[in-house]
Amino acid sequence: MKVLMYSHDSYGLGHLRRTLALAEAFVRRGPDVSVLVLTGSTVSGTFGMSHGIDLVKLPSAIKVGGGEYEPSRMSVSFKRLKKLRAGLIRSSAESFDPDAFVVDKAPLGMKREVTPTLEFLRGWRPSTLTVLGLRDVMDDPARIRRNWTEGLIADAIEQFYDTILVYGPREVYDPLPEYGLSDATLERCHYVGYIGREPVLEEAVDLELRPGYVLVTAGGGGDGFRLMKNYVEGLRGKPPAFESIVVTGPMMDDGARRELEKAARGLPVRVLEFRADMERLVARAGAVVSMGGYNTTIELLVARKPALIVPRVEPRVEQLIRAERLSELGLVEMIHPDDLTPGAMRKKVEGLLRRGPASAPAVEVDLSGAARAVDHVVSGVAQKRSVAVGA
């Protein structure tokens, strides 16, 4: 079976990490599975991948606000960049001839760049199963409904996608009925549970730190400076009895990173720019402080680590909705960004360290989403093949 996956990754690391976790689940099914991932991530080559998975690097773009993008590396117009990316996506689909095409989060891709490929598959490769994968939380449901209605996205989902997978459990959050999707589309939707990598037991051998440190992370780091600066400042005064690792992320501004390094001098704090093995750092941590992105949050649930979430609230409330819901279930602690202070962070963190790891969470959360998503895709591909043979 051949699976083509699309993850545009214009900001942060979340889409690519989720896509690669799902790709790993596909190749675990057997040696006859090949997965080709289309991504615009500038750090895509740093992630380890199993045999059977490969990448096509799309020219990178970055979101600059107001729903607009620009090239992040090349001195060309965005119009030319989009044309180049759209051509690469379609030519990959035509040459690879996948049994399934899985699109992450954006139904038509960045600025509708996936539309030509979806039209090609519908017209010329109707046996290819088209799959849309959605996060557990997209944004405020009313905003999604308005955007999808005005942009005719809901109609496009009904037209182009055979299956819609929601990467979260229905019992934690059930937004789909509020997104303005048709009844026909809703019948093709499946909640598969959270997609997370398996817990990692191996130690990050290059870091000489005792287990039990506090790990502070903000994903790609593009907007993580305020969180990290408040954390480091909270360690001033009374010396902490614990060590800390602060991973800024590769997208944090160089000036902001240098300011954090300066603030951490004289403290038991290690400031790192990027780690492709964050699961290993999480595994050895006594507590974790992070923003509320999908992948980091799921890794914390998988590892059952005491966690403090400071969610992003702009330009989307996705992280806030997720953090509030998980906090209500007793799975994480949360500080709203409006209430963020150095003292509040230190108090919460010290409370988490006293609590220690949970042998079992207060509420069991479904973390088998990757395997269940693969089951749906394999079943859908088989059905498509049987229809093609019958025709």
The CATH architecture annotation of domain 2-196+367-390 reads 3-Layer(aba) Sandwich (3.40)
Dihedral class, residue 129 (left if φ above 0, else alpha if ψ from -120 to 50, else beta): beta
Does pLDDT of 202 surpass 80? no
% of the chain exceeding 90 in pLDDT: 64
Encode pLDDT of 135-176 as tens digits.
Answer: 999 999 999 999 999 999 999 999 999 999 999 988 888 889
Encoding tokens for residue 187? 């019948």
Q: Would you list the domain boundaries of the chain?
A: 2-196+367-390, 214-355
Average pLDDT over residues 253-281: 90
Instruction: Give Cα separations from 12 to 9, 18, 173, 254, 293 (angstroms).
Output: 7, 12, 23, 16, 9
Query: What DSSP state is assigned to residue 240?
Result: P
Distance CA 255, CA 121 (A): 46
Asked: is 214-355 a CATH 3.40.50.2000 domain? The reply is yes
Q: What is the pTM of this model?
A: 0.86
User: In the predicted model, what is the mean pLDDT of the chain?
Assistant: 89
Q: How confident is the model at residue 297 (pLDDT cuts 50, 70, 90)?
A: confident
Identical topology for domains 2-196+367-390 and 214-355: yes
pLDDT for position 222: 81
* HEC assignment per residue over 75-117: CCCHHHHHHHHHHHHHHHHHHHCCCEEEEECCCCCHHHCCHHH
Amino acid identity at 9: D
Distance CA 302, CA 304 (A): 6
